[in-house]
Each structure stands twice: as structure tokens, then as C-alpha cells.
Amino acid sequence: MLALAETRFSFVGDEYIYAEISREMSVSTSFKALAVTRELHARTIPGIIDICPANASYLIRYNPDIVSPYDLLDYLKEIDLTKSRPEALNLTSRIVEIPTWYNDPTTREYARRFKDRNESPHFSDFELVMKSRGFTDEQAFINDHASTPYLLTMVGFILGTAWEFPLLLPPDGVFDIPKYKSPRTETPRQAIGMGGAFTVVYPVASSGSYQLIGITPVPVYHPEQKLAEFKDSMFLARPGDIWVHRPIGETEYYSILTQVENGIYRYRTKNFDFSPEQYAQEGKAYIDSMMKGF
Amino acid sequence: MLDVIKPGLHTTVQDLGRDGFYHLGVPPGGAADKYSFQIGNFLVGNPAHYAGLEIRMLGPTLLFTKRTLIAITGAPTPCFINDEPVPMWQCLEIKAGDVLSFRFAQQGICTYVCISGGIHSPEFLGSQSTYIVHQKPECGYKLEIGGKLMINEPLPGAFKHAGRFLPESFRPSFSKTAELHATLGLAIHRISDEGVRVFLDSEWIVSTESDRIAYRLSGGPISFEHTVQTTETDDYSANVVDLPYPVGVITVPNPKELIILVSDATAGGGFVTIGAVISSDLDTLNQCRPQTTVHFSAVTMEQALRLRAEKKQRLASAAEYLTT
């Protein structure tokens, strides 16, 4: 059931207010973060600079020369309360397909190069994730990962990196994949990583601490804005999107890469009004109806 | 026009940064030491936000192809026009054909060159600030050998400012030790009481892996609160549910390391956080060289706002001194 505890607010430095909905990750906490921050975005509040929804929290950056931190805190608490009822959490969303080459040679090579910074130098990142998730068969793990739709609970890190949280959890609940002990200094562009319960696509070459499990030929950050999905924004991810990974092999990877380079690739998408309340009640049946025809 | 003869170690176009895109993972960016940067603009008669150059450690060699005014501020650096030493914190006249060059900074990290009228370069999401990801500018401009940079016309009347300077009393100080004020909180519940005490009592040493994204410091050890293990591989307690990282946030990836996110911050992650350096101390942090000894002291919101007001007043007094 949807049940939310009281949000804990705290001042962070002199320009940020951090609202912690929960210390544990769950889908309902991120629906609440999405609902509150969408409401804040819709109002144009003087003095507010950034509104960042996150997995189990949200962060507000403000200018204390314009708005008193204490008054803003009271204001935020008021809005937070209005989004505590399940029916206030409904969300216009869209499903987006991310073609994924699992356990590809590029990310395997990066995992090998940075193994000394990882939990165990004896396993590849992919093996470590499989083991942590209780799989021994590569194909079984891939099937499991690709048959799960993921909710984008947070966008950030760098240039449109989206945190994908599984909408269908295994019977034993939220899993927790360990991250690198010290971050990699390099990650290839469009590599796919897992950490905690999350999957991410790295938008550009960057540092990173998630375990690398594959790579996608499609951009999630596209400053040239040549592809149709990027007409209005350089970033594919919108908090509240639902992303699905479709397994592909080497041939299709390079074929899609060419389509992307020629500016003709079209993402498979579908718009959907998501009801967190119905999802909480019906679970897999609701997700199945959502995925029908996709 | 500016012709880049030598680019220096890491020279980028910066202004006061871009706001409002952090929720998409685009950090505020902008000059790392905003106080020195703004003084540079005031010296040449510019508004505070006009784009200038940020130099890190070793500056470029630049050929000016038109007459203008510049000011060099920030980290103390030997600087030369046509091989003649010139002073910092002063409005200098440049003639067409003059060459500006630098030697290694003696202290600090960031030196600024502000040019009357500002630099003309494309905006990305409302700012000319250069944002580098993996050594490649995603936007803005990083100086390269043979590169050319458009500069705007000097502001009308600007040449009458030539020669004006900022007295030492208004300049920031640079030292081998730094005191940083921080508010404590965020995921501090994951740090033990002893860990918080160690964080505040011990000396932290700035590491060489520090840049415009993050500062890394070593020291400690900070002990974590014991947590329930959730999987067999999770014998490590430095992880929390990923949260948005405020600029200035102090994360504790392992007991002996702190990572403080600065101008080009990665907007979120899952390391345990202990608090955040207040905004008015970020300039100081960004001028800390590797091996600088840092000490943290905890402040309340009231104290943080007072320190912020004092800093703002210092900048306003400097601006007032220069304009009267």
C-alpha cells in the first residue's frame, strides 16, 4: 500500500534545503518527490533556483538574499503535506525503449582496467552484478533485467544521467548492488551501469562508480538535437519517464549506431498516465496492462 | 581577437555560471573563485558577470589583436606584457600586438583575466561558462594552441580606468592552511559520533586529484554507524540511497577520504554525506592547492547567513572603492 512517513527537512549550507521523504528507496517515495517537485516547478516561486527530485528525497536551491530560508522552509512543508494523499500522486509519463548490448567488450575492458577500485578484483562488473542478484546464468540475468520496466526517479550526476528504479521488484524486495570503493576515473559514453537497485545510462564519457553491465547505441544527451526526440531538449530523460531495456547483439548495435549518426533513428515510445495508487494495489497486472502493445 | 600562442595548463572561459538546470545534471559551473573573478570585472569597468578567462596554475600566452583593457586577479602569478612584468589587481592597458604571458602561480590555483567588454563566445543554457566532462568541453571554450577567441569592444569610456588598482586589504589571502565552515546534516546519521568528532578535530590534506568538479581530501578515519548488511557482497557502509548533491556537499566515500563537490559538481550520488561547506567559503576551497591542510568548523544557519552577508559586504566595499 502507499504509505508515506513525514518528510524530514534540513538546511544544507546556506543555499539548499534537503527534504528526506525516506531513508529507504521505494517507488512511493519517488512518486511523492515527483509530485512535490512538479508542483513547485508549476509555481514560479521567487528566489528558487533549482528544484531537483530524487529517489527518496528532493533538493531545493534558493537565493537567501531574496527569500528567507526559514520562510521558504515553512512554505515547502505546506506543499509537501498536500502531496501526501495517494490520489495526489498521479503522473503523466511515457515509456521509452533503450536498446542494450549486455556484457559487451567495451565495458568489459573498462571493468578490467579499474578492477582494483572495485569490491572484488576477481570478478568482472557484469559477474559481480549477476552474483549479487543471485544469477549464475548470463541469459537468465539479461532476461530479468530486460523484462523489468524502470521508473526514472531522478536525473542528475552529469548531463541528463537518469536513475532507473525497477517497477517490478524480485520477491525478496529491493536489492542493493555494491558500487566501486573508489570511483572509476573513466566510463565510456552510453555505458550502462548498476548500483544499489538502480540502472543508469552514462550520457557522456565521465567518472563513475556503478558496475558496468552493457552499452547502448542511442544517446541520452544529444546537444546537436538532430534526432526527433531531442527537438525540445538536449536531454532524453524526464523524471517520471518509464524506460525499458531491449537486449541487442553486436550487429544491431552497429546498425542502430549508423541510424543515430544519420539522424534517422526513432526511439520507440508510448505515452501513459501512471496511477501510483493502482500500481500499489495491482502490481504486476497493472504493469502488464501498461506494457500492452509496447 | 585573442590568438592563443600557448594554452596554459587548463584555461577556460567562465562567467558567474548557469542556474536552473541542476535537476538535469548540468552543474552551475562558473568561476571557481567568484570573489577574485568579480573584482577583475570591476577593475576594467565591466558588470560582475561578463565572461573572462580562468587560469589554473599556469596561464596561457596570448596575442591581443586590438587595443583593450585587462585585469589579472586571483592566485598570485608572475605575469608579463611583452616580457615586462606587470602587476596583478590593476587595470592594464593593452595595445594591438601585445603579448600576455604567465609563469607558474606561486600560491593558490585560479587566476583570472578579465577583459573590458568581456569575451564573445556561444552561450549554453544561458551561460558562457565552460563545462568540461572527461577533458572535453561540453560547452564553452577551453584554450588550445592556435585557437582564436573573440573579445568584445571595450566599454565606451573604459580607457579612463587604466591604472586603477585594488589595495591589498581587499584582496583574498592565500595560505597553506584553510579553515572551512560547514553546516552538518544530510546523511550524518550514517556517521558515528566518534566519526563526527574526528571529522571536526582532525587535519585534512588536499589531494592532487582535485579539480573543478570535486576536491578530494585525505585524513580521518571517520567511522560509520553499523548498518544491517543487505547482500553478501555489501560489507561496506559508505553507501546511501542516491541523493542530489548540493554544491559544497562533503561526501565520505570511505573512512579516510572526503570528496567535496564544487562548481562543476556531479549532481547526485550515493555516498554518505556529512554536511556542506557554506557558499561563502567555496572560493577559499577552490584556491586550495594539493597538500593544503584543511580544518572544518561546524556553523548554524544563522552563522552561515552572517558569514555570507560579510562576504557580500566585502565585495561591495571593493566595488565601491573602485568606482569612487
The pLDDT, as a whole number, for residue A11 is 94
CB contact under 8 A, B267 and A157: yes
Using the predicted structure, report yes or no on whether residue B225 has a pLDDT greater than 90.
no
The three-state DSSP-derived secondary structure of chain B is CEEEEECCCCCEEECCCCCCCHHHCCCCCCCCCHHHHHHHHHHCCCCCCCCEEEEECCCCEEEECCCEEEEEEECCCCEEECCEEECCCEEEEECCCCEEEECCCCCCCEEEEEECCCEECCCECCECCCEEECCEEEECCECCCCCEEEECCCCCCHHHHCCCECCHHHCCCCCCEEEEEEEECCCHHHECHHHHHHHHHCCEEECCCCCCCEEEEECCCCCECCCCCCCCCCCCCCEEEEEECCCCEEEEEECCEEEEECCCCCCEEEEEEEEEECHHHHHHHHCCCCCCEEEEEECCHHHHHHHHHHHHHHHHHHHHHHHC
- Identify whether residues A124 and A212 lie together within a single domain: yes
On whether residue A79 sits in a domain, the answer given is yes
Distance (Å) from the alpha carbon of B239 to chain A's nearest alpha carbon: 8
Best residue in A7, A37, A48, A50 to probe B by mutation, most B CBs within 10 Å?
A50
The pLDDT, as a whole number, for residue B237 is 61
Distance (Å) from the alpha carbon of B180 to chain A's nearest alpha carbon: 12
Chain A: residue whose CA lies nearest to B134: A206
- Identify whether residues A240 and A262 lie together within a single domain: yes
For B116-127, write each residue's pLDDT tens digit: 999 999 999 999
The pLDDT, as a whole number, for residue B161 is 93
- Identify whether residues A181 and A53 lie together within a single domain: no
Mean pLDDT across B110-119: 98
For A16-32, write each residue's pLDDT tens digit: 999 999 888 778 888 89
Write down which residue in A63, A85, A107 finishes a domain: A85
CB contact under 8 A, A160 and B25: yes
Domains and CATH numbers, chain B: 2-171 (no CATH), 177-313 (2.40.100.10)
The pLDDT, as a whole number, for residue A2 is 61
Looking at residue B109, its amino acid is I
- Identify whether residues A107 and A200 lie together within a single domain: yes
Write down which residue in A35, A57, A85 finishes a domain: A85
The pLDDT, as a whole number, for residue B233 is 35
- Identify whether residues A105 and A207 lie together within a single domain: yes
Using the predicted structure, report yes or no on whether residue B228 has a pLDDT greater than 60.
no
Using the predicted structure, report yes or no on whether residue A100 has a pLDDT greater than 50.
yes
- Identify whether residues A37 and A98 lie together within a single domain: no
User: With contacts defined as CB-CB under 8 Å, which chain A residues touch B266?
Assistant: 156-158, 206-207
CB contact under 8 A, B243 and A120: no
Best residue in B133, B210, B241 to probe A by mutation, most A CBs within 10 Å?
B241
Q: Which domain holds residue A119?
A: 92-291
Average pLDDT of chain A is 92
The pLDDT, as a whole number, for residue A169 is 80
- Identify whether residues A180 and A105 lie together within a single domain: yes
- Identify whether residues A60 and A171 lie together within a single domain: no
User: With contacts defined as CB-CB under 8 Å, which chain A residues touch B233?
Assistant: 119-120, 128, 131-132, 178
DSSP-H helix ranges across chain B: 34-43, 193-201, 282-286, 301-323
For B298-307, write each residue's pLDDT tens digit: 999 999 999 9
Q: State the CATH number of the domain containing residue A220.
A: 2.40.100.10
- Identify whether residues A66 and A171 lie together within a single domain: no
Domain count, chain A: 2
Average pLDDT of chain B is 93
Question: Which residues face B131 on adjacent strands?
Answer: B139
The pLDDT, as a whole number, for residue B323 is 86
- Identify whether residues A114 and A250 lie together within a single domain: yes
The pLDDT, as a whole number, for residue B227 is 59
Per DSSP bridges, beta strands B177-184 and B293-298 are parallel
CA dihedral A186, A191, A193, A198 (to 10 degrees): 120
Residue of A11, A56, A235 lying closest to B241 (CB–CB): A56
The pLDDT, as a whole number, for residue B235 is 42
User: With contacts defined as CB-CB under 8 Å, which chain B residues touch A196?
Assistant: 239, 241-242, 270
On whether residue A223 sits in a domain, the answer given is yes
CB contact under 8 A, A183 and B253: yes
Write down which residue in A85, A103, A127 finishes a domain: A85
CB contact under 8 A, B270 and A179: yes
Per DSSP bridges, beta strands A161-166 and A150-156 are antiparallel
Assess B279–A contact: CB distance below 8 Å, yes or no.
yes
Mean pLDDT across B258-274: 90
CB contact under 8 A, A157 and B266: yes
Using the predicted structure, report yes or no on whether residue B187 has a pLDDT greater than 80.
no
CB contact under 8 A, B267 and A195: no
The percent of residues in chain A predicted with pLDDT above 70, rounded, is 98
Assess B267–A contact: CB distance below 8 Å, yes or no.
yes
Q: Quote the CA–CA distance of A212 and A126 in Å, as a whole number.
A: 6
Distance of CA B223 to the CA centre of its chain: 30
> Half-sphere exposure (CA, 13 Å, Cβ side) for A254?
2
- Identify whether residues A235 and A114 lie together within a single domain: yes
CB contact under 8 A, B246 and A11: no
Residue of A157, A181, A203 lying closest to B268 (CB–CB): A157
The pLDDT, as a whole number, for residue A143 is 96
CB contact under 8 A, A182 and B253: yes
- Identify whether residues A245 and A185 lie together within a single domain: yes
CB contact under 8 A, A12 and B275: yes
On whether residue A2 sits in a domain, the answer given is no
On whether residue A30 sits in a domain, the answer given is yes
